[in-house]
């Protein structure tokens, strides 16, 4: 017992520092585990809780895709739901008028109820051989699709 007291008296500072380091290490491990592995929630957090009250049915998305693909001038269409954003990627046939392309995209709004339009954001990418156009409908907006400035694709010129 006297040997133990002698070691304690000679190394008090080292024992206290070791205890502090041990406590700090335990705190770092607990915080790290809580931060990285602590929750099994969705990466969206609670932002998608409203989508449980107003769910979009897969049938609606399939119907939108089929309707777009069966429309004249549309060569390919894709409709996907990610979080609370519905993405439309529409490829038109060669030389489709941009106004006609916008009109076809705007017609998709009619398939959604007012309640669904109030919850989900819609993102549109429409393209042709001459242009690519981006559009969006925000869930907080009562307006139709807002379109970005379009990009006209430049034709390659051959030098002779």
Q: What is the mean pLDDT of the chain?
A: 85
Specify whether the CB–CB gap between 120 and 112 falls below 8 A.
yes
pTM over 0.95: no
Q: What's the pLDDT tens digit per position in 114-130?
A: 899 989 999 999 988 78
Specify whether the CB–CB gap between 120 and 56 falls below 8 A.
yes
The DSSP symbol for 38 reads S
Under-50 pLDDT residues of the chain: 156-160
- What are the angstrom distances between the C-alpha of 141 and each of 24, 89, 136, 145? 50, 21, 10, 9
Give the pLDDT confidence score for residue 2 in this predicted structure: 85
């Amino acid at each position: 017992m006297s040997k133990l007291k002698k070691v304690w008296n000679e190394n008090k500072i080292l024992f206290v520092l070791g205890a502090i380091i041990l406590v700090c290490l335990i705190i770092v491990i607990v915080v790290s585990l809580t931060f990285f592995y602590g929750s099994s929630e969705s990466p969206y957090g609670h932002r998608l809780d409203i989508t449980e009250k107003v769910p979009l049915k897969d049938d609606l998305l399939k119907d939108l895709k089929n309707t777009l693909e069966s429309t004249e001038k549309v060569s390919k269409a894709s409709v996907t739901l990610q979080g609370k954003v519905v993405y439309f990627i529409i490829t038109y046939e060669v030389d489709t008028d941009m106004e006609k392309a916008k009109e076809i995209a705007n017609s998709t709004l009619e398939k959604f109820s007012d309640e669904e339009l109030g919850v989900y954001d819609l993102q549109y990418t429409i393209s042709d051989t001459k242009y690519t156009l981006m559009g969006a409908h925000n869930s907080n907006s009562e307006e139709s699709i807002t379109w970005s400035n379009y990009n006209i694709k430049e034709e390659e010129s051959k030098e002779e």
